[in-house]
Structure 1
Amino acid sequence: MPVLSAVLAAALLAAPPCVEPPPDPSNTYDAPHTYDKLVRDYPDIHIASDALPPGVRKVADQVYAQYGARCLKLDLYRPPGDKLPVVLFVHGGGWKSGYRSEFVPMALRLTQHGYAAVTLSYRLSGEARYPAAVQDVQDAVRWVRAHAVEFGLDAQRIALAGGSAGGQIASLAGVTAGGDVKGIVNIDGLSDFTTELALKYENDPKKNPSSAGAWFGGRYEEQPVLWREASPIRYVHAGMPPILFIGSAQPRFSAGREAMREQMTALGVASDELILPGTPHSFWLFDPWLQPTVDKTVTFLQQYLQ
């Protein structure tokens, strides 16, 4: 067992009992609430199913990190097999809201292609500011590596995926994970907080604070170092994991994407892209858009996680 994983495992075993906070009624970033906002403009959509497919086992409520009496938990979904490649999903919600259940439909569809999938909770900005969420995701990766044999997973084939804020967090956690992550799927997540496009929305002076400002503890003018530091584009380097970018038709969430791909290409790092025309943000919660998202993700994983 790697040293970091052993330390983490020992800390969890020695920790006192802990709890996961109950759902917050003000936290409304989920499929039903988002559906209510979108269905008028997109009447043909429906919420993607989260029904467990035959043969898929759910290992629920696994504590992967603990802060005092506060638990951070994940759910593992695994199809039959051994030494399965694993994809960890990071939910969206503007760094301040959302639930790990957001990615259950996509996780379950990946299990039908032979992948184990993990949905995880992390500390939101109201509880802990940047970089806590990024550290949480990396802790979840270490938990998977430490428990790979127990659950029939392949510790050498781990990918991160996420949507919106979760896409940005997954990208940042993956490019700074030191080799533990072999691929990243960024679904409509920012790649650079400091572009003019990103600042137009994420640093909007009419929002006090904006979602990003709450995560960083200040506007760009007040915390420029953190806004730059949290931008995945700042960590492009040879040998980093390949990234699949899947985007909506909303330009706001593409900030830094093409520039990051150009930098990756210049260093010989693979990337790919799928832009779904006519789609709103949060498209991955709904059919008919989830299936092309899954199809492209499977193609990417088959190339880089095998």
Structure 2
Amino acid sequence: MRSFSGVEYGAVPGFRPLELDLHVPDLSADETKSRVAVIVHVHGGGWRRGSRRHPLPRLGEEFYPAMVRAGFAVAAIDYRLSGEATYPAAVEDVRAAVAAVAGLLAEHGVGAGPVFLWGDSAGGHLALLAALTGAEVAGVVAWFPVTDLAAMPGSSDPQTREALFLGAPTGAVPELAREASPITHVRADAPPMLVVHGDSDTMVPYGQSTTFVSALVASGGTAELVLVPGAGHFWDGAEDPSAIHRQAIRFLRDLAEA
């Protein structure tokens, strides 16, 4: 695996440079002529914290290398957090990363094949929302995502993660909360999606995922829902988080090879 840190993928006047880390397979001379499927990974952290360099703790250092061993290039992105800029800044950054990644890989001698989005928690929300609102991707993996901001607890509390993301409590800005929710944008031609959620998640209720997948399928879209028994947020309590990881990689591998 070769890694390139701090690759700039965008610039917004008045903000820090938008950066990602690229992790690419070691390719032979012949293989460099082919195209490699790409995962754009969007970290979680309640839109308020987190980093491309700190994936889920229960999967640790194997998170990105396992994807690369499966034949993917990985673009692990940072985006503007809610303390820097409120919605729609973060989702705009995700869409910008998707648009830029093929060119960035080409600069490092790698041809980009199909591009996928993968996010967890707030990153899952952003991955779904970006894919449903203009990012050109071939599939999405979302782990324990928020899909309907207005349905989250604390609609009048200005200090919830959702309120800080939007710039106001969800109850005070219902139309904005609706616009910023993936469930609003379900459509028949959405890319295939795998949504995975723990059935004991107390931070983001698993109903956020079940309702979203039901709505997407009802609209004519393609989605698979997996509920993980006994698992909380970030796979706390899950019997085998690595198996969940492998399942998601297989889902995207099947799409890439289709």
Alpha-carbon distance between aligned partners in 2 of 1:253 and 1:173, rounded to the nearest angstrom: 21
Q: Distance in 2 between matches of 1:132 and 1:66?
A: 12
TM-score (norm 1): 0.73
Give the TM-score normalised by the residue count of structure 2.
0.86
Contact 1:106 1:290 in 2 (8 A): no
Q: 1:266 aligns with which of 218, 227, 244?
A: 218
Greater mean alpha carbon deviation, residues 147-156 or residues 253-262: 147-156
Deviation string 1:226-252 (CA, Å, 9 cap, x unpaired) is 110111011111211111011122163
Deviation, 1:193, is 1.6
Match of 1:211 in 2: 161
Output the CA distance in 2 between the equivalents of 1:105 and 1:129.
32
RMSD, matched Cα: 2.2
Q: What is the CA deviation profile of residues 129-150 of structure 1, one whole-angstrom value per residue up to 9, with x for unaligned ones?
A: 0010000011111110323433
8 Å contact from structure 2 (residues 147, 183) kept in 1: yes
Q: Is 1:65–2:65 an aligned residue pair?
A: no
**Higher CA-based Rg:** 1
Q: How big is the shift at 1:288?
A: 6.3
Secondary structure, counterpart of 2:242 in structure 1:
helix
Could you tell which deviates more after superposition, 181-190 or 64-73? 64-73
The 8 Å contact of residues 170 and 186 in structure 1, kept in 2 or not, is answered as yes
What runs of 5+ residues in structure 2 fail to find an aligned partner? 56-60
- Identity percentage over the alignment? 30
Counting only pairs closer than 5 Å after superposition, residues 151-230 of structure 1 correspond to structure 2 as 151-178=108-135, 180-195=136-151, 198=152, 200=153, 202-203=154-155, 205=156, 207-230=157-180
In 1, Cα distance between the equivalents of 2:191 and 2:185? Answer: 11
Of 23, 47, 57 in structure 2, the residue corresponding to residue 77 of structure 1 is: 23
Which consecutive unaligned segments of at least 5 residues does structure 1 have?
1-55
Q: What amino acid does structure 1 have at the position aligned with 2:144?
A: D
> How many residues are treated as equivalent by the alignment?
243
Residue 49 of structure 2 corresponds to residue 97 of structure 1 = yes
Go from structure 1 to structure 2 and tell me whether the alpha carbon gap of 1:219 and 1:267 turns closer, same or farther (over 3 Å shift).
closer
* Aligned match of 1:283: 235
